[in-house]
Amino acid sequence: MKIGKRIKELRQASGLTQEELALRSNLTKGFISQVEHDLTSLSVDSLVQILAALDESPADFFREALQEKVVFGKDDRVKVEKRGVKRFELLVPAAQNREMEPAIVILSQGEKTPREDSHEGEEFGYVVEGKIAIRLGAKFFYAKEEDCFYFTANTVHYLQNAGRKTAVVVWVSSPPMF
């Protein structure tokens, strides 16, 4: 949780300007602005003053931070450099601490993901656009737009664009392997 973002959300929900919050919390407008943009560190005393001005208890303020995040936007994605792949993004940050790891893979014509050795777990994918080949051991399996794939990852595997246009795949590994 970004403290500054949460403070800004609470301020706006209370219908206060930065200047009004600054006056109520005995701080400066410039300091409130820096806090909301996460440009400065915040002492416990200053946080307590701001929360009191917003009529929010510290317990309630931090309780939300402990709640599980459910929705992840584009800004949450983590770009991963993979040789031979136009774009590879982890859709859920810190997913390696979860049971599965979703990614979006974008392959230009002829591109393929790096070869993955066999490992424990399972993998699932959904082809959003294009056509791909799934290499499992010595065999190839083909999936086109709106097809999905599911396999046990106990053999060497990778994905390859098998079409003439860009392929977009949502790929999920369990346990996290990307």
167 and 101, same structural domain?
yes
79 and 165, same structural domain?
yes
Q: How many domains does the chain have?
A: 2
Domain boundary among 66, 94, 118: 66
- The whole-angstrom separation of Cα 38 and Cα 101 is 29
55 and 121, same structural domain?
no
pTM listed for this prediction: 0.63
Q: What is the pLDDT along the chain (178 residues), one digit of tens a residue?
A: 688 888 998 999 899 999 999 999 999 999 999 999 988 888 999 999 999 999 999 888 887 666 677 888 998 888 888 888 999 999 988 776 678 999 999 999 999 999 999 999 999 999 999 999 999 999 999 999 999 999 999 999 999 999 999 999 999 999 887 7
For 29, the domain range is 3-66
